[in-house]
Structure 1
Amino acid sequence: MVASEEVTTHKKTRIISVVAATAIALACGTNYAYSAWAPQFADKLLLSATQSNVIGTAANLGMYAAGIPMGIITDRKSPRITAIIGMFALLVGYYPIKLAYDRGPGGMSVGLISFCSFLSGVGSCAAFQAALKTATLNWPTHRGTAAACPTAAFGLSAFFYTVIAGLAFPGDTSGLLMLLSLSTSFLVMVSIPFLIVVDHQKGTTYAALPTSERSRRDSNLLHRTKSNSSKYKATAVPPPEITDETDPSGSSTETSSLLSAPGDIVDDDDAASTKTCHSHCIDVTGLALLYKPDFWQIWIVLGLLSGVGLMTINNIGHDVQALWAHFDPSASKDFIAHRQLLHVSILSISSFCGRLSSGIGSDIIVKRLHHSRFWCAAISATIFSVAQICAIRISNPNFLWVVSSLTGLAYGALFGVCPVLVVDAFGPDGFAVNWGFMTLAPVVSGNVYNLFYGAAYDSNSVVEPDGQRGCELGLGCYRTAYFVTLVSSVAGIGACFWGMWGERQRNRRVLEEMEHREA
């Protein structure tokens, strides 16, 4: 009876921690709201499209380049520490940008503004690392679904804040920047006390499993893999003696689902057993990743596709301005500003849907259909390709929502499945550091594509005597940039199939090794 109550308490704690992680993630995706205020910010400070993209790229650089150091802190210390770092970095990042906007041209250098933007990205990275690590550790049997909660909230963040700003500060860019600086850090602060990682052995304290315990766990898991005594197995799940979901009588409840997600039971066949053992026994992190082909497969997929999404996310506001200036020169600045907010909201909602469906869908693909999670990434790449074709052809701004919705959906699907691919390939213990290595890929591709867009836009812009810049060529202002991202999207499809092939080869080798040991 006491053991049963303890199991219930631990499960409630884990649910609360996922809610807290989701709330933190909601404060971490505000970099994707950049297009909601970037054009107005650039107009007031007399910045070129390239300078505006440098500021936006600095935020992306902070978000992704900080992954490794923040991951080391998260893995070796505690998710709470990185959440605290994120709380302060978000405040210190956004508030000076708000002051720069209020001061106007010359009030702050582009370099300093870019550094503050970089800090906002670091804050988002740190807090999100804490949220994602907590979710994946607390629900080892449902990693895809558990990770989908904070990743979906991350995608919804831009919509959340732009809607609030539109209601509280309509047409007020300074008010939006103030909201971002204060509310993001406050939301992280109030969620930190509930950010708890349950140790499946000791209770509700954050602690990594010691090496000796991992060895014992792996030995037990291999024994279970070879046994046909149980009817069902859960993928990548600790054995009954160390999970908090085992009842006192010894009958496992591993198949109980997080948020009643489907696809949590896999058949008792050799392939499923092999995947179970392989995904849970492996523990690779740090520089050892660089010697693993599966690292480069995931890294290249993420690099090719994330840069495509980041270019549109950071520049949808410029797309709106260019198309409306050509389509209807009489359109007011307020009207165009509201259209920018609309497209940021569409991107955010679509990203939310993509992240949620990809995270849960990848669990179904693996556990019900017995296929690779790379299929979710391949679907993302295909949607990206369609979005680029639409961006190249759509010249009527009333139909630009097709580009923003497809881009958000594809970007969300990509980041909904990639964290789980990393856990499956290299184990959960070093996930934060491993994900930090992965997020270096968007640093490279995001910077290249964003700067290419800025150069293309500036080359077609006209500078007025008062320093104001504008492009009235409509689609011709930026069309060239989307030809580049179309090539990247198609290459991403090929990279996904390469990843599937590599995963199949690795699983085959594991199965052969097990058969050799049994012989």
Structure 2
Amino acid sequence: MPFENAPIQPRVLALVSAVLIAVASGTPYVFSIFAPQLVKQTGLSADQAATLSTALSLGGALGGLPAGITIDSLGPQFASVLGGLLTAVAFYILHKCYVDANNDVFLLMVALAISGFASILSFYSTIKCTTANWPHHRGSAGALPVAAYAVASLIFSYVNVRFFKDDTAGLLRFFYIFTPCVCIGCAYFLQIVDKKKHKKAPKDRNTAVGEQDPLLRSGSTSSLFGTGSPNGSRRQSIARIFSLWGTPRSSSTLSLDQMQRPLVQLPKHVRADSDAIYVAVEDTPVFVREGSPIWDHHLTKAIFSRVFFKFYLILGFMMGIGQMYIYSVGYIIVVLKQSDPNSKLSVGDVQAVQVSTIALASFLGRLTSGPISDVVRRKLNAQRIWCIAIAACVMLLGQYLVTKINSLDALTLPSFVVGLAFGFCFGTFPAIIADCFGTDGFTTLWGLMTTSGLLVVMQMTKLLAYTLKKNSDDDGVCIHGAACYSETFVVTQYMCLAVILFTLFTIWYNHRVFLRSNR
């Protein structure tokens, strides 16, 4: 039966379960809550304590690809259960080390790495389920678990203050019981509804335009991750994805002849790397020879296509810039406090406010990104990537504000702007990836995409550290306010500008190809 006629109740239950699992999976955000007490209890040095946060980050970042492969191969239900069990193991180890004052750094690093991997394993399974179950509302549905994951820090901070104040052991015990119970208990409902029936549905004259979203196609498959008619596979992008802003609204259905007409007939003599049409350029292998055995794999076709590299670069810069500020806001607070010693605000209080502000803004950005991107695509008939261009503009504003604010009181403004842009970008991209590459291999690709910001954030944090050191005295004190670190954020402003221009070029290029393909 057509997917849009699938029972609504199982899909709603799956969506609610996805939100609950996403909240329970937000354990990396609580590291800052128990980390100081854990370090003090186990007697770790400052250098050893720094390795713990690195292990947690690497577990989440480097685990993205294996998590995606696991979800695509074994399903979101299995991944959610496995993520819950691994979280239980990780927090049990942390609890045991805390109670016994065990300062085995390697064991603590392993536990935190497992925690990071388990978190994204459960979290990515929710994104996979929501994007597959709601193909016509991918942005809105996918934004809910993404936003829930971001707001987990606020929820768990409240839980800590309300129920586990000065009881770190109890908090760690709570996580190795609560998270697996939610992930395992809700996994039963985390199912992709009627997936097999949907794949077998015949392509008739009333097949809806939006039923099949993948943008990249091969000559013999309906998407990079499925099977189907070779001719009907080119139809989805022509109405919405390639328009510069919008296209005239048309009927919601296409005839069989229209559906089966190829986007463009490519002459045999035209090289695959020609810029004559979109398909020839964007679906051309990069670094891999077309026709080789490895090129026959559907994931290889996606990963080594040029459109994937475009999105990888855009997301990498946006994630790196946002995460650099999030990770470094503590240093900014210290500098502003040193520059204004008469301020009555304490560093700890200001840091708590900034962390909460960033979390709230990121939540709002992720929550609103889905509906807005759906409106942009389905109502305005425009490319969803316009939302990324807007997010980059907002991020540019945030980076500019950081260089102009010299007061602890006013730092909340750039924190909110940066958090909003970061959340809006991160909430929009899953739907873009699903639109382009389909949902069957979605989490593998999304897991790989999320590694894109690692290099950027590492280099930018090093640049910030260098800038602060250069502008500080021998005691490491800088009293010049925003001037102490403004050089770094001038660089990030240029990076944001580059992202904006590159994104606009991509939009223009897609529109140009759309026009040429319809001559």
Matched residue SS, 2:137: helix
Correspondences of 1:298-309 after superposition (within 5 Å) = 298-309=311-322
Query: How large is the Cα RMSD of the aligned pairs?
Result: 4.1
How far did 1:352 drift?
Answer: 1.3
Structure possessing the higher relative contact order (Cα contacts under 8 Å, 6 or more residues apart): 1
- Tell me if 1:268 matches 2:250: yes
Matched residue SS, 2:188: helix
- Tell me if 1:294 matches 2:307: yes
Match of 1:65 in 2: 62
The AA in structure 2 aligned to 1:405 is F
How far did 1:408 drift?
Answer: 1.4
Does the 8 A contact of 2:94 with 2:172 survive in 1? yes
Which among 169, 191, 209 is matched to residue 186 of structure 2?
191
- Structure 2 CA distance for partners of 1:446 and 1:188, relative to 1, 3 Å: farther
Distance 2:310 2:4 in 1: 39
Distance 2:322 2:10 in 1: 35
- Structure 2 CA distance for partners of 1:374 and 1:339, relative to 1, 3 Å: same
Q: Provide, for residues 313-367 of structure 1, a one-character-per-residue CA deviation record: whole Å limited to 9, x for no partner.
A: 23334433443355347869xx543433332221121111111211111110011
Does the 8 A contact of 1:300 with 1:495 survive in 2? no
Match of 1:437 in 2: 448
Which among 133, 139, 142 is matched to residue 144 of structure 1?
139
Match of 2:510 in 1: 503
Matched residue SS, 2:136: helix
- Tell me if 1:485 matches 2:492: yes
Distance 1:112 1:322 in 2: 35
- Structure 2 CA distance for partners of 1:448 and 1:178, relative to 1, 3 Å: farther
- Structure 2 CA distance for partners of 1:478 and 1:324, relative to 1, 3 Å: same
- Tell me if 1:158 matches 2:153: yes
Distance 1:178 1:485 in 2: 41
- Tell me if 1:408 matches 2:426: no
Per mean C-alpha deviation after superposition, the further-off stretch among 497-506 and 38-47 is 38-47
- Tell me if 1:31 matches 2:44: no
Match of 2:9 in 1: 12
Does the 8 A contact of 1:26 with 1:157 survive in 2? yes
How far did 1:135 drift?
Answer: 0.6
Q: Provide, for residues 1-54 of structure 1, a one-character-per-residue CA deviation record: whole Å limited to 9, x for no partner.
A: xx99x9998211110000001111112334345555667777886755x87665
Match of 1:467 in 2: none
Distance 2:195 2:356 in 1: 39
Larger helix percent: 1
Does the 8 A contact of 2:403 with 2:483 survive in 1? no
Match of 1:89 in 2: 86
Per mean C-alpha deviation after superposition, the further-off stretch among 78-87 and 314-323 is 314-323
Which among 113, 131, 141 is matched to residue 118 of structure 1?
113
Match of 2:124 in 1: 129
Does the 8 A contact of 2:78 with 2:187 survive in 1? no
Q: Provide, for residues 222-253 of structure 1, a one-character-per-residue CA deviation record: whole Å limited to 9, x for no partner.
A: x557xxxxxx8546479xxxxxxxxxxxxxxx
Distance 1:148 1:33 in 2: 21
The AA in structure 1 aligned to 2:155 is F
Distance 2:93 2:486 in 1: 34
Matched residue SS, 1:400: helix
Match of 1:21 in 2: 18
- Structure 2 CA distance for partners of 1:324 and 1:51, relative to 1, 3 Å: farther
Match of 2:286 in 1: none
Match of 2:366 in 1: 355
Q: Provide, for residues 193-240 of structure 1, a one-character-per-residue CA deviation record: whole Å limited to 9, x for no partner.
A: 2212111555xxxxx94xxx48x54xx4xx557xxxxxx8546479xx
How far did 1:275 drift?
Answer: 11
- Tell me if 1:107 matches 2:82: no
The AA in structure 2 aligned to 1:164 is V
Match of 1:255 in 2: none
Matched residue SS, 1:141: coil
Matched residue SS, 1:194: coil
Per mean C-alpha deviation after superposition, the further-off stretch among 315-324 and 339-348 is 315-324
Which among 441, 447, 454 is matched to residue 458 of structure 2?
447
Which among 377, 399, 410 is matched to residue 388 of structure 1?
399
**Normalising by structure 2, what TM-score?**
0.74
How far did 1:58 drift?
Answer: 3.5
The AA in structure 2 aligned to 1:127 is S
The AA in structure 2 aligned to 1:304 is F
Distance 2:67 2:169 in 1: 30
Distance 1:275 1:360 in 2: 28
Q: Provide, for residues 386-409 of structure 1, a one-character-per-residue CA deviation record: whole Å limited to 9, x for no partner.
A: 111222232211112112211211
Distance 2:84 2:95 in 1: 17
- Tell me if 1:341 matches 2:352: yes
Which among 308, 332, 340 is matched to residue 327 of structure 1?
340
Per mean C-alpha deviation after superposition, the further-off stretch among 30-39 and 114-123 is 30-39
Distance 1:118 1:460 in 2: 35
The AA in structure 1 aligned to 2:433 is V
- Structure 2 CA distance for partners of 1:187 and 1:448, relative to 1, 3 Å: farther
Distance 2:84 2:196 in 1: 30
Distance 1:130 1:60 in 2: 19
How far did 1:158 drift?
Answer: 1.5
- Structure 2 CA distance for partners of 1:476 and 1:188, relative to 1, 3 Å: farther
Q: Which runs of 5 or more residues in structure 1 are unaligned?
A: 203-207, 226-231, 239-265, 465-469
Does the 8 A contact of 1:96 with 1:116 survive in 2? yes
Does the 8 A contact of 2:44 with 2:103 survive in 1? no
Distance 1:311 1:174 in 2: 31
- Structure 2 CA distance for partners of 1:367 and 1:272, relative to 1, 3 Å: farther
Matched residue SS, 1:402: helix
Per mean C-alpha deviation after superposition, the further-off stretch among 269-278 and 163-172 is 269-278
Correspondences of 1:199-214 after superposition (within 5 Å) = 199-200=194-195, 202=197, 209=199, 213=200
- Structure 2 CA distance for partners of 1:290 and 1:135, relative to 1, 3 Å: closer
**Normalising by structure 1, what TM-score?**
0.74
